[in-house]
Structure 1
């Protein structure tokens, strides 16, 4: 019982190994293109031809052939040639256990000249033995001829074996190449489909991991947006409560409106939202700033209704507006105008934030310097090379910031 289980386990292991070997060979052949496979087959045939010549076309070694005809119990025939002539025993029965006399198996001897031979007579004292006396020279030539005939026969036999082995080797190589061709033709489609499916699964997993990493990184970037205006607004509300309560109440209402617009955005952590939601959040933010800056701030917002549903990354418009206020208009004594404009150019959504403030480098910056860098990195992660952020001077003064992203409805 135990031996049978061991035998079955061994057979199963061998079959599993053969299956793995076939699968590995099939996968390797499938991955080769047809021209590479034909090149491999041609090189294999050339190598097989060279190996065949080396193995089966060498010199023939001398082989001694013994002719034993006692396979079915028949008596052996003994022929002996010496300087006294030919000794022939047609049917001498070998004694049990006695060694068989070795005699070369003679092929048809070569034709010899006729020589007068004495009458054949049995040897005295040996029943059945025949002695044919020959001259010494003729006996020697006959013996040499018989040995040469035996050697020729052995050489022909070895040559025939070599030819058979050479044929078998060439047939094996051809059958192997035909099997590889059939495997590529029949199993190739299945293997390619499995390989493509595995590659697609791995690509989807990599894309999912990359997307999760990108989303986490973008959420971290969004959290870096400096809420300095909140602290400034709260400080302004506290000051107005003591000096101008009605105005403090209006600023408080504007702050509540802004928080209602911005808190869902921060809670959702969406990678992409819509332009209308971003515009509403910026409008609430600008209402707060107008109460602080009063007549020093003029706002022009031109976002068409049909573009409110266009997909747009969150907090980017807010960051551009904050930069324009903080670095361009708030530090200008007489203030200025902030303009927000959106349109579609070709298949791209273009959003422009411009101001006529002090311009580049006129006032030392006190910020962290991460706002514009975060915007560029988030655009690259979301859209690759299809999105751009351009910063340039405005005429006569100020800065123009332009974001372009692929135009598509928000999901």
Structure 2
């Protein structure tokens, strides 16, 4: 049982390793463009052809040996093939060859000679093969002349060499064919992987890139929201200290006015404190307007006649969705960098309208404008507004800063018009 589990673990490890290799190769092939892939295929086939020539070509020594073997076979008097043994002597022996003497000219008539008895002919020496069968009948001995024996030995040697040479040549040819087929199959497998698996790999890569971008965007959004929450929870100390000091001073010289400023401060804190506890990324425009109204009431008590506020917010737009604390940031910039530093003060106008399915909120002042106080709409507060709008609505929202005529600045926020929850 333990041995079976061990073999299964090894098999699973091998399969896992093969899958990782295939996944790595598929990922690499997918990342290549088509022209790079075709260039790689051409280089691979060229390298395969070079290796085939170097590994499986017959060396010069083997070619020379094959030529010598062929010459030797052509010179052989005895040829051994599938049909048997063929004896083709290069020069026929003269001994033992039957020669017919030329006929002698007929002699003139002569008296008949007495007939002499015929002498038996002496047999010529044996020059043909002879077979000897041993009495037991198990073996046969064929006696051959020395010349035939030598030719037969050479023929057998050549036949053995020729068979070995043909076998080696056949193996070389088969190995060469297998090697080139393997290279072709490898290139075709890469082509099929790129064509079939490429779409899936590209989709996975795009998904990973999209997930990474989403994670980065989420982190940036969290960072922006954290900054926003800090901004929502922050009440400017100097503003509070100056307001409390003004209340204390008015209590001594003008108690009714001090009481009015105290009520405005309480109203402002009531409007701001819920924003400090609420982490919502979108709120209602009416809520933002109420908070800004309380803020401007306190400022008007400090600036008195130097500040004139014009509020044009239709009641139907108070329920429109609007990011928190953006309107107050625009009002603070207009007061601090435009009207407060102008001796005679000026007018602050806030209006809201719907244009092309977008809620447009505009803050206009006729203060000192650009250049007098270092603020051209690229400060930390306005840049934070731009970043938050981009995270919330992408390209559908934006902050636009322009110069007012004859003086001052126009700041406008556009967001998609929708009702707050």
The DSSP-based 3-state class of the residue aligned with 1:341 is strand
Count of aligned pairs between the two proteins? 368
Q: 1:352 touches 1:400 (CA, 8 Å); kept in 2?
A: no
The 2-side partners of 1:171 and 1:270 are apart by 67
Q: Deviations over 1:376-399 (max 9, x none)?
A: 1331353178465555554444x2
- Of 290, 296, 302, which aligns to 1:286? 296
Q: 1:225 touches 1:371 (CA, 8 Å); kept in 2?
A: no
- Of 143, 146, 152, which aligns to 1:131? 143
Q: Find the counterpart in structure 1 of residue 387 from structure 2.
A: 380
Q: Deviations over 1:119-176 (max 9, x none)?
A: 22368999743231145xx776665565445434332222211111122223333333
Q: Find the counterpart in structure 1 of residue 71 from structure 2.
A: none
The 2-side partners of 1:194 and 1:393 are apart by 49
Question: Normalising to structure 2: TM-score of the pair?
Answer: 0.70
Q: Find the counterpart in structure 1 of residue 165 from structure 2.
A: 155
Distance change (3 Å), C-alpha of 1:185 and 1:392: closer
Distance change (3 Å), C-alpha of 1:383 and 1:15: closer
Distance change (3 Å), C-alpha of 1:238 and 1:25: same
The 2-side partners of 1:234 and 1:291 are apart by 12
1:166-181 map, 5 Å: 166-181=176-191
The 2-side partners of 1:310 and 1:35 are apart by 55
**Does residue 242 in structure 1 map to residue 222 in structure 2?**
no
1:309-324 map, 5 Å: 309-324=319-334
Q: 1:109 touches 1:145 (CA, 8 Å); kept in 2?
A: no
The 2-side partners of 1:226 and 1:337 are apart by 23
CA RMSD of aligned residues (A): 4.2
The 1-side partners of 2:384 and 2:40 are apart by 48
Q: 1:303 touches 1:342 (CA, 8 Å); kept in 2?
A: yes
Distance change (3 Å), C-alpha of 1:360 and 1:175: closer
- Of 266, 281, 288, which aligns to 1:271? 281
Distance change (3 Å), C-alpha of 1:320 and 1:180: closer
Q: Find the counterpart in structure 1 of residue 109 from structure 2.
A: none
Q: 1:348 touches 1:404 (CA, 8 Å); kept in 2?
A: no
Q: 2:308 touches 2:346 (CA, 8 Å); kept in 1?
A: yes
Distance change (3 Å), C-alpha of 1:291 and 1:5: closer
1:400: Cα distance to partner?
Answer: 0.7
**Does residue 408 in structure 1 map to residue 385 in structure 2?**
no
Q: Deviations over 1:7-52 (max 9, x none)?
A: 4443343333233333333444455556655554444333323322
The 2-side partners of 1:60 and 1:106 are apart by 27
Q: Find the counterpart in structure 2 of residue 10 from structure 1.
A: 10
The 2-side partners of 1:358 and 1:196 are apart by 51
Q: 1:344 touches 1:407 (CA, 8 Å); kept in 2?
A: no
The DSSP-based 3-state class of the residue aligned with 1:228 is helix
Distance change (3 Å), C-alpha of 1:406 and 1:335: closer
The DSSP-based 3-state class of the residue aligned with 1:129 is strand
- Of 208, 219, 226, which aligns to 2:229? 219
Distance change (3 Å), C-alpha of 1:246 and 1:189: same
1:298: Cα distance to partner?
Answer: 1.6
Question: Normalising to structure 1: TM-score of the pair?
Answer: 0.71
Q: Find the counterpart in structure 2 of residue 121 from structure 1.
A: 130
Q: Deviations over 1:247-277 (max 9, x none)?
A: 3333222222222222212221433434332
Distance change (3 Å), C-alpha of 1:120 and 1:272: same
The 1-side partners of 2:17 and 2:305 are apart by 85
Q: Find the counterpart in structure 2 of residue 45 from structure 1.
A: 45
The 2-side partners of 1:251 and 1:352 are apart by 27
1:313-352 map, 5 Å: 313-344=323-354, 346=356, 349-352=359-362
The 2-side partners of 1:390 and 1:196 are apart by 34
The 2-side partners of 1:291 and 1:256 are apart by 14
Q: Find the counterpart in structure 2 of residue 24 from structure 1.
A: 24
Query: Which one has a bigger Cα radius of gyration?
Result: 2
The DSSP-based 3-state class of the residue aligned with 2:379 is helix
Q: Find the counterpart in structure 2 of residue 112 from structure 1.
A: 88
Distance change (3 Å), C-alpha of 1:111 and 1:209: farther
The 1-side partners of 2:325 and 2:285 are apart by 10
Q: Which structure 2 residue ranges, 5 or more long, are not aligned? A: 66-76, 97-126
The 2-side partners of 1:197 and 1:394 are apart by 47
Distance change (3 Å), C-alpha of 1:331 and 1:54: closer
